[in-house]
Amino acid sequence: MSLKAKVLTGTKWVAFANVFKQVLQVLSLVVFARLLSPDDFGLFALLMIFVSFLAMFTDMGTASALIHIDQPSQKLLSSVFFFNIFLGFFLAVLLVLSASSIALFFANPPLEFLLQLISINFIIISFGVVQKARYEKALEFRELAMIETLAIFIGISTGIICAINGLGVYSLLAQTLVTSLLSVLALWIVAKWRPSLHFSFEDIKRIWGYTANLSTFNFVNYFSRNADNFLIGKFLNSSALGVYSLAYSIMLYPLQNISRVLLRILFPAFSTIQNDNEKFKRVYLKTIFFIALVSFPIMAGLVATADLLVAVLFGDKWLGLAQILMILAPVGIIQSIGTTNGSIFMAKGNTRLLLRVGIFSTVVTIAFFVGGLFWGVEGVAFSYLLSNMVLFYPVFRISWGQIGLSVSEGLVVLLPLLAIVSIMGASVWGLGQWLDTLSLYPVVQLILMIVAGVVLYIALLTLKYGNPKKFLKELKR
């Protein structure tokens, strides 16, 4: 099967599974928001600050290295497997030992046991790193899509049952552990590969140049991604963090379910054409256009319907959520495209340059967060938007420059879509203002606004790009 055919097949399977997963995740988010309190969400967000920090070291970049390397040997695969098992146990023990100090720092006693309990997750996922990387390298996403969808469904179901029975924040933790455990078990059942009784540090050293810079980048990038949660959790309160983290999760869904999922397929594909800049550039432009085609209207729709959406789905206890959503939605537009930059660095093997860009971005982002903290949780959200706007040109210029793509060339592709979603968003907002005067049920008003937005968006796309069938056919080429 050709590379193009593999990419299209993988995309179809991941898209199918992802639509199902996204529906599940959105529904579960609404259910959890109804059953749990902002304090529960805030406590879990605080917990995940440290879990995500240690999660950076779960494979030390070895999974990406296995995808990047042409035909890794059985000995290398086995060494990487046992290396990850060691890392999993080490990180679990480290989290258990540091749990009391973390809880004391945040003056939050329940945090200690939660951290100790979730440490098991590091051991679980370490058993699936190589299995998963082998599937992704071969662009065989059918089994992965099915496994992940089933695991997420059962994990969410478990979490909801726990929430209904009054387990509070523990229901979110149960969802995480069950999802990880089922994913790894299913991988071992389906995958044919098994490790040999072999381990050598020489094998790990062979890929260390690639993984060291990538792991250091992830370490630096962590502070950029989590400084906002840390500052809100320390200097504001868990309720404010709960509202912010829910808004951030809603904003993040298009990134998780479009950009990052596509990149699981495209990073291996980009690695095979890393030395052909013209082809790389052509494929990449189509990729970011497709991402923008889906993520831009979702973010514009969030801005236009935020107040009504929060009232209908989440209820009165989530006061302030709509305002933060409206601030973070433009961040989602920028990051839906920015998320793809890392795949260029990794496919090109330029992990050292990736690290330098990451350090620069992190320093700027944290500086903005600290300044925004003086204006509360809304100030932190707004500072996040400002930092993304400031970093846009320098980061994209360096990233895209590796494949001979200028920022202006990229914007020529993206700006027409941005104009279309801006018109659509403004029109939907205006429609909402008029519907307010009719005293409709909020859920009816929300549905009318969403339907109108979808119809208008398709109409504007057709006006700009012509027949939808021909347009989609051209996009696949």
SS3 track for 425-440: HHHHHHHHHHHHCCCC
Q: How many CA atoms lie within 13 A of 356 on its CB side?
A: 7
* Nearest to 284, CA basis, from 331, 345, 334, 217: 345
DSSP label at residue 405: -
Give the chain's length.
Answer: 477
Is pLDDT at 268 greater than 60 in this prediction? no
pLDDT computed for residue 386 by the predictor: 93
Is pLDDT at 11 greater than 60 in this prediction? no
Is pLDDT at 166 greater than 70 in this prediction? yes
- CA geometry: angle at 103 spanning 100 and 104, to 5°? 85
Q: State percent of the chain over pLDDT 70.
A: 75
CB 346 within 8 A of CB 272: no
Confidence of residue 339 (pLDDT cuts 50, 70, 90): confident
The H-or-E segment that residue 159 falls in is helix 141-164
Section 293-302 average pLDDT: 89
Q: What is the pTM of this model?
A: 0.67
* Domains of the chain, residue spans: 1-206, 223-477
